[in-house]
Amino acid sequence: MRVPGVRGVSGPTETQLLGKPVLRSLFSTAPGSRLPAVSGDCPRRRRVAYTWDMDGLLRFTVIDNEGTISFGGPGHLAKMMAAACAHSPASIDQVLATLATLDPSMTDSIRHGLARFDEFVVRDDATSIEQWIAQNDPLSGTAFRLIDSRLREATLTPLPLGVIMINLPDKRIVQIENRYGPILRKDRGRMRRDGEPISQVYTYELSSDWSLLP
């Protein structure tokens, strides 16, 4: 599924980002991947601006076959990202499509950040990259694509609650640093609307071919 306004670009592998390979772990067999199950009533969606407390942000760096993106998000997003991975997405676009069903406002914020990056930055144009870096702090929670070596360090720089890397081709979630709370292979959480938790609940379970480290 393609998500309007989000396009993939070529980028480094997880090994290139970390500078060393990440060992795979073996886990017990889990049911096949599926979209998060939901229960309860879904209130009417209203578009609002999403604001964060910087002290409550995690960095998420997501890799697919076409590129890498990085962005900051509140701690509860870690569980939602795992729920998106339970559907075994093949691309960043598919992750965002699932995330949009769980927290639309957060997803809109990520897409908006990527759209602004795409609007002002041209691949292999050093001037446009320098101007974007000068006007936007990549070490904050702003969303960007990894298209230049000057942005590589930012993709691995923790925000106050840490940094989590998700490698879609290798089906691997690496909690490089996570001070919010460990991601579980099977869990449930409350969906969000307008940035607030609602009564509707989602559940997920990562299939056995997904690695969760550490």
pLDDT tens digits, residue range 58-111?
999 999 999 999 999 999 999 999 999 999 999 999 999 999 999 999 999 999
Show the tokens assigned to 11.
């980028």
Residue 17: which pLDDT band, with cuts at 50, 70 and 90? low
CA quadruple 125, 58, 91, 195: dihedral, nearest 10: -110
Average model confidence (pLDDT) across the chain: 82
Give the Cα separation of 145 and 56 in Å (integer).
22
Percentage of the chain with pLDDT > 90?
Answer: 67
Q: What is the pLDDT of residues 115-156, one digit of tens each?
A: 999 999 998 898 999 999 999 999 989 999 999 888 999 999
Reported pTM? 0.77
